[in-house]
A and B are shown apart, each in its own frame.
Chain A
Amino acid sequence: MFRFFLNRFGATLPTLLGMSFVAFAIVTLAPGDPVQMELRAMGVVPKPEDIAAIKAEYGLDKPFLARYIHWLWRAVQLDFGTSIATGRSVIEEIGLYLPATLMLAISSLVGSIVISLFLGALAIMGNRLTASLLRAITILLVSIPSFWLALILIHVFILDLGWSRLVGEGDLSDLILPALTLSLGAGASLGRLVYERVRAEACEDYVRLAIAKGISPLGILISHIAPRIIGPLVTVWATTLGWMLGGAVIVESIFGWPGLGQLILQAIGQRDYPVIQGYLVLMGLVFVTTSLIADLVVVVADPQLRRRLHRD
């Protein structure tokens, strides 16, 4: 079993390597002289006269692969250069705002899981009419853009009702509205997924036997169906966290939540390439780690897989 974990972890390394290459190569998308862009990516804005000298100094006259390895070496030490805008090191900059974004993403994930289980359970246990109604509501919720939902929520809760303030300082009470915004959309689509998976399992023969035994719907749901769907659900939850990390950018910008979202938007506006690169790599890392944890949980939860691994 331990060997399996090690294998799985080892399989992530090529992916991480590939991701680092993408993050490095993405600089070439920038318009203009690619090498100048790379200088920019390192936080250096050269004067035209000095370009050749600076290129040599930073080793930028070397071939692509050599430059990549040089960049990778620094990246592994979490050195992504300095921000063009603030002059602080990129990792320091990101470190300031990362916790707030993680808090938002995780609380939104938890919120969406709760909403999804509630909606899914309601749809299953209810009759045909409730199921159709809930389905209509879900499709509608999923179609609402988070930025519009945020604006509506602000209008209702902040301007009209005055329950909360707009300029966030990172207190927990300020987290509620942004997290709710993200949770609603994701919760609706997750709820639909829960409903579909349960419905698909309810077509299977083993459910028929459980019904024939006279077991209550709740009993069938909890004892027979839930263990079957927990694996795929956990995988989707991990993907949802990735979605939250991206969606947080929008919500943070609207609610003024002091997270990475504001940082990255500023960086895009100022063409602060070191920050954009660092952001890409670190977000990727967080996501890969969550996916890895999810995969391991899936294996641990499936008894058939567990036994097979124990035997090896």
Chain B
Amino acid sequence: MTESTFDHPLKRRRLLSWFAFSSGQTSFLLGVLMLTSICLLAIVPSLLSLPKPEAMDLLARLSPPSEAHLFGTDHLGRDQLARLLAAIPISLGAAAQTMGIILAIALPWGLIAGLGSPRLDMVMMRLSDIIMAFPTLVLALAVIGFMGASLEASILGVAAAWWPSNARLIRALVLSAKERDFVRAAHMAGASRSRLVFRHILPQILPPLAVMISLETASVLLALSSLSFLGIGAQPPTPEWGAMLNEARPFFAQAPHMLLAPGIAVVMTVLAFNLVGEGLRDLLDKREPFRW
């Protein structure tokens, strides 16, 4: 904000616009790149001849990175790299399932609350408020507590705790989409409910919805791996990054290499989703602040 106001000779600007991406574009592209790489990495094990993730080689327990085991081995002699890669479909799959459940509840909920009568809206919002009144992770813990610890329980627990905030967001988007002039015009011209929804409202809310989905997936992924880390999500021997870090805990001082890789894997995946979401959000937001 300390640049000179008139310091934009046209020639220089034209040059810059060729090279510089806006920060929104950078984030988005970087995030998509990372996600694609991670998905591609999931199929790598079948291409390279890596040991199977369950194969235990007790003689080589806790060995640091070597030629045979690129990322070292864990306390049961299993190859870390193989486990890391095997965890990709599991972690991503769990996150996808959770988001699927969340959207399956939140999308209709938000649409109905936003488009229905004010009475219905109030009742539906009250109901979701009740769920939101519990601290999110606490509710997930309780669900897991009663269902018994497992990956499925953690998926259901996180979905149960995360859906109301998403429903609220969707409702807000629907409400503001509903008020746009062209939607009201279509309504007055006699368009049916479903036509209004599918041709006018959904296309409008799709871009901010995409932002929401990316950012929420990041949050859900963090929650799921946290629960697995606590031992109440994915159960051994299922390879999952949080669970792998939990297993590494007792051996932390002797084998620090076990700490790094799964943690970095979580950070990279969550980061990818956050970059995609933030990048999209930036691209959609056209307003610029006044320069002081």
Contact = CB atoms under 8 A, between A and B. Distances in A.
Given A132-B23, A242-B135, A253 B252 contact: no
B134 A284 contact: yes
A271 B149 CA distance: 10
B16 interface: no
Contacts of B266: 145, 148
Interface residues of B, number: 56
Contacts of B139: 280
A273 B232 contact: no
Contacts of A159: 252-253
A279 B142 CA distance: 8
A250 B229 contact: yes
A31 B130 contact: no
Nearest to B262: A148
Given A145-B267, A208-B290, A217 B145 contact: no
Interface string B1-42: 111000000000000000000010001000000000000000
Interface string A276-300: 1101100110011001000000000
Interface stretch (A46-54, A69-77, A134-142): A134-142
A273 B147 CA distance: 11
A15 interface: yes
A268 B127 CA distance: 27
Interface in B261-292: 263, 266-267, 270-271, 274-275, 278, 287-292
Interface string B128-164: 0111011111111111111111000000000000000
Contacts of A280: 134, 138-139, 142
Given A148-B266, A250-B230, A139 B271 contact: yes
Interface footprint category on A: 35 or more
A260 to B, nearest CB: 9
- SS class of chain B's interface: helix, strand, loop or mixed? helix
Given A18-B126, A148-B245, A155-B252, A29 B136 contact: no
12 contacts: A18-B130, A37-B146, A143-B222, A145-B266, A147-B230, A155-B259, A159-B253, A199-B289, A211-B290, A249-B137, A269-B231, A271-B145
A202 B289 contact: yes
Main secondary structure of the interface of A (DSSP, over half): helix
Contacts of A269: 149, 231
Nearest to B249: A151
Nearest to B127: A18
Contact of B245 (A126, A151, A249): A151
Pick from A126, A144, A145 the residue with the most CB of B within 10 Å.
A145
Nearest to B137: A246
A114 interface: no
Interface of A: 14-16, 18-19, 22-23, 26-27, 29-31, 37, 125-128, 132, 135, 139-140, 142-148, 151-152, 154-155, 159, 199-200, 202-203, 207-208, 211, 217, 220, 242-243, 245-247, 249-250, 253, 264-265, 267-269, 271, 273, 276-277, 279-280, 283-284, 287-288, 291
Given A217-B1, A264-B141, A148 B271 contact: no
Contact of B292 (A14, A26, A211): A211
A207 B290 contact: yes
Interface in B41-85: none
Nearest to B2: A127
B218 interface: yes
Interface string B216-254: 001000100110011110000000001001000100110
B130 A15 contact: yes
B135 A151 contact: no
A247 B137 contact: yes
B274 A143 contact: yes
A31 B23 CA distance: 50
A243 B140 CA distance: 12
B145 A273 contact: yes
Contacts of A273: 145-146
Given A18-B127, A250-B229, A288-B133, A139 B138 contact: no
A143 B271 contact: yes
A273 B140 CA distance: 14
Contacts of B252: 151, 154-155, 159
B108 interface: no
A164 to B, nearest CB: 15
Contacts of B203: none
A128 B145 CA distance: 48
B242 A145 contact: yes
Nearest to B23: A132
